[in-house]
């Protein structure tokens, strides 16, 4: 009997193990104390149709702890492509549900786009079997929907100096009327402009569209990106749509020019002095300082020609003076204090006549050399009183010379625009002279100042020889100009003068004799 009983016990143990879902290692292991279980109801919310101007549509679902122990609700998160159209009203955040407790969650729908919209609420909890439960959200937006075609718009490559036009469409792909209030580029300095478009505001019914004409006009050879901001009643992104346009600028040609300044460069200098009685002291001052002027000039060149022209016809009072002329100092001194006529206070007329009389057989023949700098120095205490405007005579001189960059007019005259009074000297403003000097990058000295000082004479001498203007053969794009002085890039000492189509150096900064200058630049295209 005992053996039979023991056998029965052994058989029962084996049978029990064979039917259990717990392995031998789990035998006697206690059931977890937390048996929390979550129930979410319903698992799908349909919000129907949302119309523009309506209040958000609300739907609810519940979360219930149907297990034992505490249930921790860890997070409620809306995910999906259209998540922005849905929100949780008064999100409870993290909370704990006791056995049998229920929490109601309200979801709001406010369509951010047209047609069907969908997302999910991901309910994350401490339920060991279902840690994440999705609640499906669906709704339809009966709202306006702005669509820009194409976006982005690539306008390709365009030569600098030219422009290209393209069209973009603004379409209402929604289910309600779309009102466009404004469109503008966020950065007005970019090379994109709207050249035509509808009068604003404009309302487009579903399926309707309008167009904008976009112009791309590059200023350099870079890639430009335009951000066109369109404001409408499309609920997406609070009604702001950013459309992108792209374009690339190209230079049609790049040029390089080279100059080598000559050593001992030639210079042709004309002096014209007002012979009215109030000018006697200034004429004498010029005469007494001529030797000092020649001393300064010799620092730049000994290949000079000088003549004095005081008579109305412009014929020389001194002859053509050179370093080889005997007693040229005394000849000059006498000439600047003699002559004159009805044009003595119209020195632009006198000097223009002098330049015109340089052809073969005329009174100043042999003076004006084709390669020399022509420097005209006028001295007067009155405004310029020629029969025509100053530019008439400047243009006449330049035309005769044939090269504006080798013409320079300077003046010793009354301060512009108010005139001057100093040390017993007075002068009316040098109107006419002032403009002619500035137009040719000459030197203007106040006749009331110590104009014959060594520093002022040095400036006049330098202006007689050194060209501060380097003409460009082609119209440049100013921002592309690169200037090399003796092989080194230089900046801050020059500027581009469009009226001369030249690179012009500042006073005292011009390259000197024997120096070389190289200028590289690009030109804009000429477009039909």
d(C-alpha 399, C-alpha 406), whole Å: 11
Task: Supply the pTM of this predicted model.
Answer: 0.56
- Fold match between 38-141 and 146-250? yes
38-141: CATH superfamily: Immunoglobulins (2.60.40.10)
**Is the pLDDT confidence value at 103 over 50?**
yes
The residue with tokens 């609920």 is: 235
Contact 261, 168 (CB under 8 A): no
- Give the pLDDT score at 348: 98
Q: What one-character-per-residue DSSP string does 52-81 give?
A: TTPPPEEEEEEEEE-SBS-EEEEEEEEEST
Contact 498, 491 (CB under 8 A): no
% of the chain residues with pLDDT over 70: 94
**Is the pLDDT confidence value at 110 over 60?**
yes
DSSP H stretches of helix in 170-308: 280-288, 290-297
Instruction: Report the CATH number of the 146-250 domain.
Output: 2.60.40.10
pLDDT classification of 174: cutoffs 50, 70, 90: confident
Q: What is the CATH topology of the domain spanning 262-468?
A: Rossmann fold (3.40.50)
pLDDT classification of 236: cutoffs 50, 70, 90: confident
**Digit-coded pLDDT (tens) for 177-187:** 999 999 999 99
Q: What is the overall mean pLDDT for the chain?
A: 91
Q: What one-character-per-residue DSSP string does 415-478 give?
A: -TTT-EEETTEEE---TTHHHHHHHTT--EEETTS-TTSHHHHHHHHHHHH---EEE-SS---G
Number of H helices, E strands in the chain: 8, 32
**Is the pLDDT confidence value at 24 over 70?**
no
Domain assignments of the chain as residue spans, ordered by start: 38-141, 146-250, 255-259+472-523, 262-468
**Is the pLDDT confidence value at 197 over 70?**
yes
**Digit-coded pLDDT (tens) for 241-252:** 999 999 999 999
R_g of the chain, CA atoms, integer Å: 46
pLDDT classification of 14: cutoffs 50, 70, 90: very low
- Please report, for residues 82, 110, 118, 254, 496, the alpha-carbon distance to residue 173 in angstroms, rounded to integers and kept in the order given: 17, 18, 18, 48, 53
**Digit-coded pLDDT (tens) for 421-478:** 987 789 999 999 999 999 998 999 999 999 999 999 999 999 999 888 898 999 999 9
Cβ-Cβ contacts under 8 Å for 365 (sequence gap 6 or more) = 357, 358, 359
Q: State the number of CA atoms in the 13 A half-sphere of 101 facing the CB.
A: 13
**Digit-coded pLDDT (tens) for 294-321:** 999 999 999 999 999 999 999 999 999 9
**Is the pLDDT confidence value at 25 over 70?**
no
SS3 for 160-183 is ECECEEEEEEEEECCCCCEEEEEE
The DSSP H or E segment spanning 346 is none
By mean pLDDT, which of 50-64, 188-202, 268-282 is the weakest?
A: 50-64
d(C-alpha 353, C-alpha 347), whole Å: 10
- The residue among 428, 407, 398, 416 whose CA lies nearest residue 270 is 407
């Amino acid at each position: 009997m005992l053996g039979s009983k023991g056998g029965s016990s052994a058989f029962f143990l084996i049978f029990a193990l064979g039917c259990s879902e717990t392995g031998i290692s789990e035998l006697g292991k206690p059931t977890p104390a937390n048996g929390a279980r979550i129930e979410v109801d319903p698992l799908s919310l349909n919000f129907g149709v949302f119309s523009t101007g309506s209040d958000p549509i609300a739907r609810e679902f519940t979360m219930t702890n149907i297990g034992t122990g505490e249930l921790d609700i860890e997070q409620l998160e809306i995910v999906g492509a259209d998540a922005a159209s849905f929100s949780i009203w008064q999100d409870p955040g993290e909370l704990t549900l006791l056995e049998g407790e229920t929490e109601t969650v309200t979801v709001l729908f406010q369509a951010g786009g047209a047609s069907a919209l969908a997302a999910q609420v991901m309910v994350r909890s401490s339920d060991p079997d279902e840690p994440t439960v999705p609640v499906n959200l669906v709704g339809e937006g009966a709202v306006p929907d702005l669509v820009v075609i194409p976006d982005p718009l690539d306008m390709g490559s365009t030569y600098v100096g030219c422009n290209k036009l393209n069209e973009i469409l603004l379409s209402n792909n929604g289910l309600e009327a779309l009102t466009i209030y404004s469109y503008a580029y966020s950065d007005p300095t970019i090379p994109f402009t709207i050249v035509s478009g509808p009068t604003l505001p404009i309302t487009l019914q579903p399926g309707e569209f309008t167009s904008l004409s976009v112009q791309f006009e590059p200023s350099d050879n870079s890639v430009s990106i335009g951000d066109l901001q369109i404001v409408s009643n499309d609920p997406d992104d609070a009604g702001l749509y950013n459309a992108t346009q792209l374009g690339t600028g190209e230079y049609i040609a790049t040029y390089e020019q080279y100059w080598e300044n000559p050593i001992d460069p030639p210079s042709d200098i004309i002096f014209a002095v007002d012979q009215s009685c109030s000018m006697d002291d200034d004429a004498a001052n010029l005469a007494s300082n001529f030797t000092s002027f020649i001393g300064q000039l010799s620092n730049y060149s000994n290949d000079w020609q000088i003549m004095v022209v005081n008579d109305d016809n412009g014929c020389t009072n001194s002859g053509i003076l050179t370093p080889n002329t005997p007693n040229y100092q005394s000849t000059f001194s006498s000439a600047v204090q003699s002559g004159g006529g009805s044009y003595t206070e119209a020195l632009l007329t006198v000097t223009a006549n002098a330049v015109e009389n340089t052809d073969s057989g005329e009174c100043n023949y042999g003076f004006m050399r084709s390669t020399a700098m022509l420097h005209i120095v006028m001295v007067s205490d009155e405004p310029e009183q020629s029969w025509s405007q100053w530019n008439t005579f400047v243009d006449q001189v330049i035309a005769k010379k044939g090269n504006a960059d080798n013409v320079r007019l300077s003046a010793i005259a009354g301060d512009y625009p108010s005139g001057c009074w100093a040390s017993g000297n007075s002068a009316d403003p040098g109107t006419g002279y002032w403009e002619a000097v500035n137009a040719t990058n000459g030197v203007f000295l106040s006749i009331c100042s110590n104009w014959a000082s060594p520093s002022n004479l040095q400036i006049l001498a330098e202006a007689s020889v050194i060209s501060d203007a380097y003409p460009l053969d082609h119209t440049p794009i100013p921002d592309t100009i690169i200037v090399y002085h003796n092989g080194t890039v230089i900046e801050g000492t020059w500027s581009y003068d469009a009226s001369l189509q030249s690179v012009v150096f500042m006073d005292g900064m011009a390259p000197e004799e024997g120096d070389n200058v190289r200028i590289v630049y690009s030109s804009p295209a000429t477009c039909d």
